[in-house]
């Protein structure tokens, strides 16, 4: 087995090591390397061979030198011509290529394929250079862009007998991808041009870059015209704010505002890449967002209650918005504060009651839920009372959330980010653009076949309530007010769009009581639905398209066209730490986990070594609004809790 610590780069090195077997290599491994090199023997053929670019020619030359066992150096290497000679002094091997007149093609003009040195005599061996390993991995990445480091190491060992550890394979992958897609550093320098291209190809889009005083990257805001128009024309005034870490070379954080279409589908509106998640960056993002998607009505935001969002929303939008605390984070906060205080079952019941209180449509049902908490612990009841229910409970919240109480609604978008976030920044942003472009096109085509008044999901919900309405008995009271009798007695004011059950007001669709009244009056229930659920509004959401952006060519040093660039952007100072990136843990556990029990005091959540050090619930600030909590919950886990708590 071969152990190699040097096969990590992919630079097309000019001066490379001569061909020689690795120490300790065996005939089987040598044969593997001979087969690997033989596939590149004809990457360079003869005079007249053409290439689409100098980069393609240089790569072919590098592979050719590996296969034929010699090293070379460049005599000329610029944007107009490339001349290379064998590295051995006096050897006659040489090659010259230049651009064909009036074309972008590169052609070999001269070539002497014969060596007068000993370089070609050792081609049965293989090259122990960074370039050799890089070329191998680069070929694999072309076929499988999501090639994982562990799979790289496994395949290299199986096919070539070289053993790489995870870190070596990851760095080799990064270098190979850098050659295929451009360097991370170079991508930052391309950002001003990239933003300009976005605005040129997609008029009405917003693409803003901000640098620090030293010209290093600070933040980037992107909102495509199709997203802005779609949100304004067809989406509910409801946005979900969240963030996710990026794991590329220079790290950073992506902030996003996700809308929701009339069929409850994810609709990305705007996003930003910032050097780090700070209050200042959140305020900047929200300021750019407000400018981009100006609305005539207040917007409801659903987000975490920490990390600067709360204060930033107040500073930027003031009275023009409603801020809903994400129930996902609120439940996790309570669960963390309860650890060590109560048994697993008691915590499960109290969190279940908290979720039921959040969804409770009326004050009476809300109070019933919190009284259940009080019966278990008055202290936790006080925690809930001080947690600002007006920001999370349906019974008090002033905005419209349409039944969506958690900020992780945009999971589809964040899955895209996870798929692309190790790319250079321009590649990642363009990849997200492509994903949204495809989404808009696919939904436009799909919805063109719809024949219902409402979107399919909303049509289904309406029909369910319509079937319930058949067993109800509406009785006229006065004017537009009706009493509706069934399992309960509710009051409907159809002109004021009000039902005492509150479901109509909360969800935007007429409840069964309202439908019963509309049928009594001979009115269509479709006239009582929010306009955001209509197929017409859905079509307006996806009416505009996102246009492709031309590929940004790598700037070539010395070219006069590149010397007058006004803004020079350098990468942020933060770099990824060494070792395997720490990705989010798999969310596989429930919101309430069983705890250890102390053998000394029989208390929960600690052992005898930490006995007496358990923190109580913070009496002064139950939400710790300026702190930071690490959330590792699975959306489906808390959703299961919520669904079991929903009022029928």
In this structure, the strands spanning 94-99 and 81-86 are antiparallel
Cα separation values, 24 from 28, 200, 333, Å = 12, 58, 57
The stretches in the chain having pLDDT less than 50 are 1-25, 120-129, 555-565, 583-595, 614-648
Coil, helix or strand for 38? helix
The residue written with tokens 């650890």 in the block is: 339
Pairing of strands 321-325, 299-303: parallel
Which residues neighbour 603 within 8 Å (Cβ) at sequence distance 6 or greater?
340, 597, 611, 614
Instruction: Copy the structure tokens of residue 49.
Output: 């061979």
What's the pLDDT score for residue 352? 92
Q: Which pLDDT does position 229 carry in this prediction? A: 97
DSSP 614: P
| Helical H segments across 522-634, by residue range | 535-541
Amino acid 34: pLDDT:
60
Q: Is the dihedral of CA 150, 152, 157, 161 positive or negative?
A: negative
Over the stretch 540-577, which tens digit does the pLDDT of each residue have?
999 999 999 987 655 444 444 444 445 789 989 865 55
Apex CA 452: angle with CA 446 and CA 456, to 5°? Answer: 60
CB 509 within 8 A of CB 462: yes
What is the structure's pLDDT at 500?
Answer: 95
CA 328 – CA 407 distance, rounded (Å): 8
Residue 302, token pair as written in the block: 């659903």
Q: Which of 164, 67, 73 is nearest to 125 (CA)?
A: 67
Please name the residues in contact with 463: beta carbons below 8 A apart, sequence gap of 6 or more.
none
* pLDDT at position 119: 53
Q: What is the pLDDT of residue 174?
A: 77
- Long-range contact pairs involving 629-633 (C-beta distance under 8 Å, separation at least 24): 629/306, 629/329, 629/332, 629/333, 629/336, 631/328, 631/329, 631/332, 632/584, 632/585, 632/587, 632/589, 633/328, 633/331, 633/332, 633/587, 633/591
Closest CA to 396 of 435, 428, 357: 357
- Tally of CA atoms within 13 A in the half-sphere of 628 that contains its CB: 6
* Residue 584 pLDDT: 44
C-alpha distance across the termini of the chain, in Å: 65
Q: How far apart are CA 6 and CA 133, in angstroms?
A: 9
pTM (predicted TM-score): 0.72
Residue 516 CA: distances (Å) to CA of 466, 507, 511, 521, 549: 8, 17, 9, 9, 52
Looking at residue 8, its pLDDT comes to 34
Alpha-carbon span 609 to 600, nearest angstrom: 9
């Amino acid at each position: 087995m071969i152990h190699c610590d040097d096969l990590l780069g992919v630079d097309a090195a000019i001066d490379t090591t001569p061909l020689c077997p690795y120490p300790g290599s065996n005939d089987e491994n040598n044969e593997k390397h001979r087969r690997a090199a033989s596939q590149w023997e004809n990457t360079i053929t003869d005079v007249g061979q053409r290439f689409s670019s100098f980069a393609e020619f240089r790569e072919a030359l590098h592979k050719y030198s590996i296969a034929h066992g010699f090293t070379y150096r460049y005599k000329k290497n610029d944007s107009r011509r490339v001349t290379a000679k064998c590295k051995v002094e006096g050897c006659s091997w040489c090659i010259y290529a230049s651009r064909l007149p009036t074309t972008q093609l590169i052609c070999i003009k001269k070539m002497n394929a014969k060596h007068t040195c000993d370089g070609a005599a050792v081609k049965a061996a293989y090259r122990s250079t960074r370039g050799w390993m890089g070329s191998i991995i680069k070929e694999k990445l072309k076929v499988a862009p999501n090639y994982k480091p562990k799979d790289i190491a496994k395949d290299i060992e199986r096919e070539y007998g070289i053993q790489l550890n995870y870190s070596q394979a990851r760095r080799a992958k990064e270098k190979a991808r850098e050659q295929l897609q451009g360097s991370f550093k170079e991508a930052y320098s391309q950002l001003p041009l990239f933003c300009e291209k976005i605005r040129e190809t997609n008029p009405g889009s917003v693409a803003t870059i901000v640098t620090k005083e030293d010209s290093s990257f600070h933040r980037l805001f992107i909102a495509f015209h199709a997203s802005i128009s779609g949100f304004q024309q067809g989406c509910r005034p409801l946005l979900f704010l969240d963030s996710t870490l990026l794991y590329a070379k220079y790290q950073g954080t992506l902030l996003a505002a996700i809308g929701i279409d009339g069929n409850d589908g994810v609709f990305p509106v705007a996003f930003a890449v910032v050097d780090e998640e700070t209050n200042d960056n959140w305020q900047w993002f929200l300021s750019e967002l407000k400018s981009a998607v100006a609305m005539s009505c207040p917007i409801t935001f659903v987000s975490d209650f920490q990390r600067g969002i709360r204060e930033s929303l107040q500073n930027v939008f003031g009275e023009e918005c409603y801020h809903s605390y994400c129930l996902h984070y609120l439940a996790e906060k309570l669960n963390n504060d309860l650890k060590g205080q109560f048994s697993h079952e008691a915590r499960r019941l109290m969190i279940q009651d908290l979720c039921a209180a959040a969804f409770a449509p009326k004050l009476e049902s809300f109070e019933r839920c919190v009284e259940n908490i009080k019966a278990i612990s008055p202290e936790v009841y006080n925690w809930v009372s001080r947690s600002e229910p007006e920001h999370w409970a349906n019974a008090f919240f002033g905005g419209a959330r349409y039944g969506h109480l958690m900020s992780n609604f945009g999971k589809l978008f964040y899955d895209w980010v996870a798929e692309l976030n190790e790319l250079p920044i321009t590649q990642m942003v363009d990849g997200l653009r492509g994903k949204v472009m495809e989404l808009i096109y696919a939904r436009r085509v799909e919805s063109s076949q719809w024949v219902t008044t409402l979107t399919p999901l909303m049509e289904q919900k309406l029909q369910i309530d319509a079937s319930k309405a058949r067993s109800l008995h509406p009785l006229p009271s006065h004017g537009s007010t009706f009493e509706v009798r069934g399992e309960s007695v509710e009051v409907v004011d159809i002109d004021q769009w009000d039902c005492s059950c509150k479901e109509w007001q909360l969800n935007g669709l007429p409840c069964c009581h309202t439908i019963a009244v509309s049928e009594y009056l001979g009115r269509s229930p479709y006239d009582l639905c929010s306009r955001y659920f209509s197929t017409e509004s859905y079509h307006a959401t996806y009416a505009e398209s996102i246009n492709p952006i031309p590929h940004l060519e790598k700037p070539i040093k010395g070219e006069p066209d590149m010397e007058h660039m006004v803004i020079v952007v350098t990468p942020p100072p933060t770099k990824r730490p060494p070792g395997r990136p720490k990705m989010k843990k798999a969310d596989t556990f429930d919101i309430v986990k069983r705890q250890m029990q102390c053998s000394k005091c029989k208390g929960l959540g600690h052992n005898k070594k930490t006995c007496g050090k358990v923190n109580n619930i913070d009496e002064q600030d139950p939400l710790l609004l300026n702190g930071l909590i690490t959330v590792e919950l699975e959306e489906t886990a808390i959703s299961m809790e919520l669904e079991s708590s929903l009022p029928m």
